[in-house]
Chain A
Amino acid sequence: AQRVTQPEKLLSVFKGAPVELKCNYSYSGSPELFWYVQYSRQRLQLLLRHISRESIKGFTADLNKGETSFHLKKPFAQEEDSAMYYCALAVYNQGGKLIFGQGTELSVKP
């Protein structure tokens, strides 16, 4: 079965603290994974994708195929990082679709 699990509904940290948002996936093929972010009153937008191996706004995510994980990390959280974060898996069967996790709300307190 194809599934994405984000175990934490809410993660609350203080400004300057490290952040790790967990994502685990279940997929028999070669995974393509993404993190999407939704700031308050804004549309869902791509934060990063594993194939790019990039760092956006200080966030990084490493694909660990052995642990089937794609955790999102940032060494020092900022208040403006407060948002909903969704981990997503791209699945292809003729066409393509994104399978989303339930999302983690990150709250960064001053």
Chain B
Amino acid sequence: KAGVTQTPRYLIKTRGQQVTLSCSPISGHRSVSWYQQTPGQGLQFLFEYFSETQRNKGNFPGRFSGRQFSNSRSEMNVSTLELGDSALYLCASSLGARLNTEAFFGQGTRLTVV
């Protein structure tokens, strides 16, 4: 069974640009969550999608958005990039609607904003 796949693995963008990150969950998983990981703030929740609906959103500005497609694949978009957006962005998928089922993480997309 293929794991959670995130593309691209690395990105370098300039301040003011926008970026789209992609996440393919494990086959059959309907819940996809996104997290931002930085040395200072650690792992912080961005959003959670289940069956194409955003059910939960973290405390991030509106520049951060996402969506989920009918095949459960998800994308997140960051517009008007700032230097502080440099981070590792992790996607996690799980089988059910509740997190007491295991969340499987991807290897992440390393975003560097210059």
Q: Which A positions have Cβ atoms within 8 angstroms of B? A: 32, 36, 43-46, 49, 51, 86, 90, 92-103
Q: A95 touches which one: B4, B56, B104, B106 (CB < 8 A)?
A: B56
* Minimum CB–CB distance for A45 against chain B, Å: 7
Check A45 against B105 for contact (C-beta < 8 Å): yes
Q: A96 touches which one: B4, B43, B97, B105 (CB < 8 A)?
A: B97
Interface size class of B (residues with CB under 8 A): 20 to 34
Check A103 against B42 for contact (C-beta < 8 Å): yes
Chain B residues with CB below 8 A from A102, complex form: 42
Q: Would you call the interface of chain A mostly helix, strand, loop, or mixed?
A: strand
B103 contacts partner chain A, Cβ-Cβ < 8 Å: yes
Q: Known contacts being A43-B106, A43-B108, A101-B42, is A94 close to B55, with CB within 8 Å?
A: yes
Q: Known contacts being A43-B106, A46-B103, A103-B42, is A97 close to B58, with CB within 8 Å?
A: yes
Chain B residues with CB below 8 A from A45, complex form: 104-105
* Binary flags per residue of B6-34, CB closer than 8 Å to A gives 1, else 0: 00000000000000000000000001010
Q: Known contacts being A44-B90, A46-B102, is A96 close to B48, with CB within 8 Å?
A: yes
- Which of B50, B99, B102 is packed against the most chain A CB atoms within 10 Å? B99
* Binary flags per residue of B90-114, CB closer than 8 Å to A gives 1, else 0: 1010000111101111111000000
